[in-house]
Amino acid sequence: MADVGFYHLTRTGADEALPVLLGRTLDAGKRAVVRCATPEDAAALDDALWAVSEPVWLPHAATGGAYPERQPIWVTAEGDVPNGATFLFLAGITDMPKVEGFERVFDLFDGRDEEAVAAARLRWTALKEAGHTLTYWKQEPKGWVRAR
């Protein structure tokens, strides 16, 4: 079973919240796959991650990139995991993802979008019923607060 953290974004988009989480993932010696809702979202996130210098430069590639098996972070809009990642990041996903085979899942959703919140609630219920360990984090003016 995976540990699934729900990250309720209230002041930034996923492109601003992900760098810190991905930096911590690399610091822990883990590999990540970031699954976006659309190929356009994946391309935009790929571009945004190249511009990140704080907290750390984030080596990565996106679908179509070279040597996917070597990439510590893989950005995609598909279900592919060519880098053997054990951490799954969901950015703007509204459907129920496959979480089997992942150690940790980070579900980032836009708290300013009622449809995104409703979809996150459905994912929460389904994952809880499946027996996964769930946590809920809400973005505050400075950092995150854990609830539940």
B/e letters for 119-134, b = 16+ CB within 10 Å, e = fewer, are bbeebbeebeeeebeb
The Cα 31–Cα 140 span in angstroms is 27
pLDDT reading at 53 higher than 80: no
Q: How many residues does the chain have?
A: 148
Q: What is the pTM of this model?
A: 0.94
Q: Which helix (H) or strand (E) holds 34?
A: strand 32-36
- Please write the tens of the pLDDT for every residue from 4-21: 999 999 999 998 999 999
CB atoms within 10 A of CB 60: 22
- Please write the tens of the pLDDT for every residue from 59-100: 999 998 889 999 999 999 999 999 999 999 999 998 888 899
What DSSP state is assigned to residue 93?
Answer: -
pLDDT reading at 145 higher than 90: yes
Tokens in use for 61?
């590639």
The Cα 119–Cα 126 span in angstroms is 11
Bridge partners, 145 (sequence order): 138
Cα–Cα distances (Å) from 135 to 14, 18, 24, 29, 48, in that order, read 18, 17, 17, 22, 27
